[in-house]
Amino acid sequence: MRQAKRAVADDRDPAVRAKDICLTLLTARPRTRSELKKALLKKELSEEVAEQVLGRLDDVGLIDDAAFAEMWVRSRHTYQGMGRKALSIELRRRGVDNDTVAEAVAAVDEEAEEERARQLVRKKLPSMSSADQQAKIRRLVGMLARKGYSQGLAYRVVKDELANIGDETNLLDSFE
């Protein structure tokens, strides 16, 4: 039965099929033009049909890489605590061009990035009360690095937040 449905689906006009694939994917979540193109090519549709359909979807406003990037940055920074570096990498992997990435990531200014890093450290600190100073520093700086925060910012934030709770920070003094 399943193969019969595929055979019927494959008999449709390739442009209609491509449009249906794109609309199904866009229903689940916003996607970049590049993600949609990869999906169409994976379904063995021609490059010409993919470009034609994507162009039409772009014209009617269903594909907007700039809006996608802005939404992605806002969401991932707010809810996942991602830093600008990690956000840039993620957007590039999704096929967003460099200028659009730079513009979207610029929405996260240095102060907002630092404040989000502080929130992440403050949230993590209570669960680390039994760890020694070196382990706390290593874990906190590592967490921030994995989330795309710069080394300098990570060390500064960890040092400040440890000092705020009365922990020694002499291991971090050599990083200034």
Give the pLDDT confidence of 62-99 residue by residue, as tens digits: 999 999 999 999 999 999 999 999 999 999 999 999 99
Q: At what angle do helices 133-146 and 110-124 cross, to 10 degrees?
A: 130
Give the pLDDT confidence of 22-66 residue by residue, as tens digits: 999 999 999 999 999 999 999 999 999 999 999 999 999 999 999
Mean pLDDT of all residues in 131-138: 88
User: Going by C-beta distance under 8 Å and a sequence separation of 6 or more, which residues neighbour residue 164?
Assistant: none
pTM: 0.81
pLDDT at 4 over 90: no
pLDDT at 12 over 90: no
Q: Give the amino acid at 24.
A: T
Mean pLDDT of all residues in 137-151: 95
pLDDT at 10 over 70: no
Q: Share the mean pLDDT of the chain.
A: 89
Distance CA 9, CA 43 (A): 12
Tokens of 139: 């874990």
**pLDDT at position 173:** 55
